[in-house]
Amino acid sequence: MPEHPMLEKTNRINLLFDFYSELLTEKQRTFLSCYFHDDYSLGEIASEFSISRQAVYEHIKRAELMLEEYERKLRLLAKHEQRTDCLSRLEDLLGEASPDLRIKAAPLLEKMRLVD
């Protein structure tokens, strides 16, 4: 069953945030973190920072667009997902391999996991 669209969006923004947060302004990082990580409403963030809900909304929307633009150009999340998928498939294949091969491959697999 597919995830709810808002949950999918939240998960994607959180992953993009992990990769690109340092490229955002401090205010964008703070507002995105409050909204997507801490589940604050626009009103709660506005009250906390003494600004309008519209201003909070605009900061969050701009930050989301920036994250998507960074991903479009750099593709760090896409590459991470591809590596994760490949590692999972390799582990499945090694599950069918001889014990000797599994032992030899284990350090390399671990090293590949640590790349991200």
pLDDT of 2 reads 56
Place of tokens 């589940």: 39
Distance CA 55, CA 40 (A): 15
Tokens representing residue 39 in the block? 């589940």
Which tokens is 102 given? 């599994």
Q: In whole angstroms, give the CA distance from residue 75 to residue 41.
A: 30
- Measured CA to CA, the distance from residue 18 to residue 86 in angstroms comes to 21
pLDDT of residue 3: 64
Nearest alpha carbon to residue 74 among 19, 12, 18, 9: 19
Written as tens digits, the pLDDT of the chain (116 aa) is 456 888 999 999 999 999 999 999 999 999 999 999 999 999 999 999 999 999 999 999 999 999 999 999 999 999 999 999 999 999 998 989 999 998 999 899 889 888 86
